[in-house]
Amino acid sequence: MCGRTACTLGPDEICQACSVRTMKDGKKQYQAPEWRDHPGGKSYTTSYNIAPSRFTPVIISDHHVRGVKRQSDDEVLSPQRIIQPMMWGLIPPFYKGSSPTGHGLTTNNCRVEDIEEKKSYKPSLIKGQRCVVLCDGFYEWQAIKGEKTKQPYFVYAPQPEGIEIWNRESWDKPGVWSEDEGWRGPQLLKIAGLFSFWISTEGEEVMSYTVLTMESGKKFSSLHHRIPAILETDQDVEDWLDFGRIGYKEALTNLTNEVELTWHPVSTAVNNSRNQEPNINVPVSLDKKPPETASSKLMSAWLSKGSAKKDNSALKDMKREPGKTEAPEHYEEKEKKPSPFSKWIKKESDDNANDN
């Protein structure tokens, strides 16, 4: 946890979705971050079902790319945001090899509780190599009593009215972004992460990341006991990225597990990362009614047809007279209750029969 995500926006759309409000020529406008290709030539590809080792977009401070800029000896410029793809699954700095995935460790998630003790993550933490992982949402699985297969759920940020993050047609319209109004499409999920630089023995340069996780709060614990470290506000994102202003201990303390999230059940097809259907994160019903087979549909149609014929035949046989209606034989009449006088006559008759 988290072990699978979805990210379906293109590079330009992702930058627009992460735009921030700034002052430009004395006027407040929205500015989209710059997109930077991965230095090793690795590219990002949109997907509804992303597993670790794939390259996905993250936000980092430009101080990591261009160096820390100073206006004076005492003043450091606020970091600008850059978005670029990195490999999901942090490559430990101590690993020496030719393949970025050859270290054999599971590093797609990093527990906040022991992050300072892990030699895989502590170097990145100390160097301020903090990033923000971007995605439409992530998948989580819940065990169901009596079932072998766990039920997957798609978890995402609350969306503006009328927008379905799994339905592109609900938001992909002209004017979805402008400098004056910013982004009016789906809200991406922003997760705190750490990243690293690594060079293979063959000279290949790879930037990779890990997702920070923590114990779930009350709201999310009903689905799973762990939750990614979600950054809900633009200020949360800024504080996590600005390693020069906020040290890592304070940055970790600022993370919270009580956040607003939305989730719905999805098809178990997502269990296999090779399944890449566009509708894989669409809500599904958890109704346990067994699916109809061809034979059950045929039988149901035959029974319905036979029942309809029988009812129509019965109605045709009914004789209607003024003030009187005779019911068909298969319609049972309600039993009439005997009157007190009838009961007395029957009792007297029975008594006489017994006397004889």
Name the CATH code of domain 5-271 (choices 3.90.1680.10, 3.40.640.10, 3.30.70.1560, 3.30.360.10).
3.90.1680.10
- Looking at residue 40, its pLDDT comes to 77
Q: In the numeric block, which tokens belong to residue 158?
A: 């609350």
Q: Give the whole-angstrom CA distance, residue 345 versus residue 340.
A: 9
Q: In the numeric block, which tokens belong to residue 138?
A: 């992530």
State the average pLDDT over residues 84-99: 96
pTM: 0.78
Q: Does the pLDDT value for residue 329 go beyond 60?
A: no
State the average pLDDT over residues 60-86: 74
Residues of the chain with CATH 3.90.1680.10: 5-271
Higher-pLDDT residue of 211, 301? 211
**Which helix (H) or strand (E) segment is 24 a member of?**
strand 20-24
State the average pLDDT over residues 136-165: 94
CB count, 10 Å around CB of 87? Answer: 24
- Looking at residue 107, its pLDDT comes to 96
Question: Which DSSP letter does residue 294 get?
Answer: H
pLDDT bin (cut points 50, 70, 90) of residue 283 is: very high
- Looking at residue 350, its pLDDT comes to 53
pLDDT bin (cut points 50, 70, 90) of residue 347 is: low
pLDDT in tens, 153-176: 999 999 999 999 999 999 999 999
Three-class DSSP category at 250: helix
- Looking at residue 155, its pLDDT comes to 98
In degrees, rounded to 5, the angle at the alpha carbon of residue 106 between the alpha carbons of residues 254 and 200 is: 100
pLDDT in tens, 213-236: 999 999 999 999 999 999 999 999
Q: Give the whole-angstrom CA distance, residue 124 versus residue 195.
A: 6
Residue with tokens 């979705």: 17
pLDDT bin (cut points 50, 70, 90) of residue 61 is: very high
Q: Does the pLDDT value for residue 130 go beyond 60?
A: yes
Contact 18, 83 (CB under 8 A): yes
Q: Does the pLDDT value for residue 312 go beyond 60?
A: no
pLDDT bin (cut points 50, 70, 90) of residue 337 is: low
pLDDT > 90: what percent of the chain? 68
Q: Does the pLDDT value for residue 315 go beyond 80?
A: no
pLDDT in tens, 3-12: 899 999 999 9
- Looking at residue 176, its pLDDT comes to 96
In this structure, are strands 47-50 and 5-7 parallel, antiparallel, or unpaired? antiparallel
- Looking at residue 306, its pLDDT comes to 54
Q: In the numeric block, which tokens belong to residue 61?
A: 């401070």
pLDDT in tens, 18-60: 999 987 777 889 999 999 999 878 899 999 999 999 999 999 9
Question: Which DSSP letter does residue 169 get?
Answer: G
Q: In the numeric block, which tokens belong to residue 110?
A: 């990093």
Q: Does the pLDDT value for residue 316 go beyond 60?
A: no
State the average pLDDT over residues 325-349: 46
Q: Does the pLDDT value for residue 79 go beyond 80?
A: no
Q: Which residues partner with 209 through β-bridges?
A: 88, 195
Q: Which residues are catalytic?
A: 2, 140
Three-class DSSP category at 304: helix
- Looking at residue 46, its pLDDT comes to 97
Q: Give the whole-angstrom CA distance, residue 110 versus residue 140.
A: 16
Mean pLDDT score across all residues of the chain: 84
